[in-house]
C-alpha cells in the first residue's frame, strides 16, 4: 500500500478545532479551506507558509466550496451562502435554502466535476432518517436528490459514478451518475464495513486510481478502500479519535489533509493526546488525489 520510502507521516498543522470538517483544496492558490462547524469558523490554511486565517460567522458553518478566488460557498443550518472571505462575515448572503425540518441541519458538501454543489442534511440526535441529499446548480436552484438520510456525509465522483456516505449505515453507496444532467440512480453498496473496521464512516475523498479514502469518526484513522472489490486496502492511523474528513492537496496532489474534532473526546484522552481537533497533513501516502472541484457559474 505504501511507497518504498516508508509509512505515511502525519503532522498536525493547525490546532485546535472543536469540530473540524469540510477540507477543500484550491489548487490555483495552494490553499486549503476548511471549517470548524461548532466554532462557526471558515479557515484558510496557507500550505506553503503554514499560516491559518479565519472568518467567524454567526451560526453553525458546516462545509465550504470555492467559487473563484476568495469567493466561497458555505453552508449553515438550512442555507447555502455566498461569502467573500476577504470582506469578512458582513459579506455573507443567502444563495439558496432547504426546508427547516425539525431537529435537522446541513452537514457535508462538495462540488461535482461539472461544478454543481452537492450537500446533505442530518438529524441532529442522529437517530431518524429525516435528512436529505441536495444539489445546487449554477443558477443557485436547489434540487432534492435523495430522502431518508440520517447523517449525510462523504461524497466522491469518478466517471459515471457517484459515491455517498450516510454514516449510520456504515456503508459507502454508489449511484449511477449522469455527468450532463446531474441525475443519480441505481443506488447500491460499494463498501460495507465490518466489525473489525473501527469507527463510523464520515468524510471521504478519492485518489487517481479510483480508490476511496474515508475518515473514520471514532476510529482515529483514515481507511483506503477499493470500491470495485469492497475491500479495505490499508489504514492511516492518526492521533485524533474523531477523524472527520479528508482531501488531497499539495503542489503535487500527493498530500492528504485530514480534519478532526475535539468535541465528544473523553477528557483524559484530550489531555493525553492534545492533537484531537487538529488539521493534519499526511505525506508519503503512495498515491495522488483528484483535485477539489469549484462551483461553476453564479459567483
Contacting residues for 268 by C-beta, under 8 A, at least 6 apart: none
Contacting residues for 124 by C-beta, under 8 A, at least 6 apart: 103, 104, 105
Active site residue 202: yes
Cell of residue 162, nine digits: 457517484
Name residue, grid cell 449525510: 152
Measured distance CA(255)–CA(284) in Å, rounded? 7
Contacting residues for 84 by C-beta, under 8 A, at least 6 apart: 70, 71, 72, 91
Q: Would you say 44 and 85 are in contact if contact means Cβ atoms under 8 Å apart?
A: yes
- Of the candidates 202, 207, 226, 284, the residue annotated as catalytic is 202
Name residue, grid cell 425540518: 101
* Beta bridge partner(s), residue 279: 14
The angle subtended at Cα 36 by Cα 288 and Cα 154, nearest 5°, is: 45
- The residues carrying an active-site annotation are 202
Amino acid at each position: 500500500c505504501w511507497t518504498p520510502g516508508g509509512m505515511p507521516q502525519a503532522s498536525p498543522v493547525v490546532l485546535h478545532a472543536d469540530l473540524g470538517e469540510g477540507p477543500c483544496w484550491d489548487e490555483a492558490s495552494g490553499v486549503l479551506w476548511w471549517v470548524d462547524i461548532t466554532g462557526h469558523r471558515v479557515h484558510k490554511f496557507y500550505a506553503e507558509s503554514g499560516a491559518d486565517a479565519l472568518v467567524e460567522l454567526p451560526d453553525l458553518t458546516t462545509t465550504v466550496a470555492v467559487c473563484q478566488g476568495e469567493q466561497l460557498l458555505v453552508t449553515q443550518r438550512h442555507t447555502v451562502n455566498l461569502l467573500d472571505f476577504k470582506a469578512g462575515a458582513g459579506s455573507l448572503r443567502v444563495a439558496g435554502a432547504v426546508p427547516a425540518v425539525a431537529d435537522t441541519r446541513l452537514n457535508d458538501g462538495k462540488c461535482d466535476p461539472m461544478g454543481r454543489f452537492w450537500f446533505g442534511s442530518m438529524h441532529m440526535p442522529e437517530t431518524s432518517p429525516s435528512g436529505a441529499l441536495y444539489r445546487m446548480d449554477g443558477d443557485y436552484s436547489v434540487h432534492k436528490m435523495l430522502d431518508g438520510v440520517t447523517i449525510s456525509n462523504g461524497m466522491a465522483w469518478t466517471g459515471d459514478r457517484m459515491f455517498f456516505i450516510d454514516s449510520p449505515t456504515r456503508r459507502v453507496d454508489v449511484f449511477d451518475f449522469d455527468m450532463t444532467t446531474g441525475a443519480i440512480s441505481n443506488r447500491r453498496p460499494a463498501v460495507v464495513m465490518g466489525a473489525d473496521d473501527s469507527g463510523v464512516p464520515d468524510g471521504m475523498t478519492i485518489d487517481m486510481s479510483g480508490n476511496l479514502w474515508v475518515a473514520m469518526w471514532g476510529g482515529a484513522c483514515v481507511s483506503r478502500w477499493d470500491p470495485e472489490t469492497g475491500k479495505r486496502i490499508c489504514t492511516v492511523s492518526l492521533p485524533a479519535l474523531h477523524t472527520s474528513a479528508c482531501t488531497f492537496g499539495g503542489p503535487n496532489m500527493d498530500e492528504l489533509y485530514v480534519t478532526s474534532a475535539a468535541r465528544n473526546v473523553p477528557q483524559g484522552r484530550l489531555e493525553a493526546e492534545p492533537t484531537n481537533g487538529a488539521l493534519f497533513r499526511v505525506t508519503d501516502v503512495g498515491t495522488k488525489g483528484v483535485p477539489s472541484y469549484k462551483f461553476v457559474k453564479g459567483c
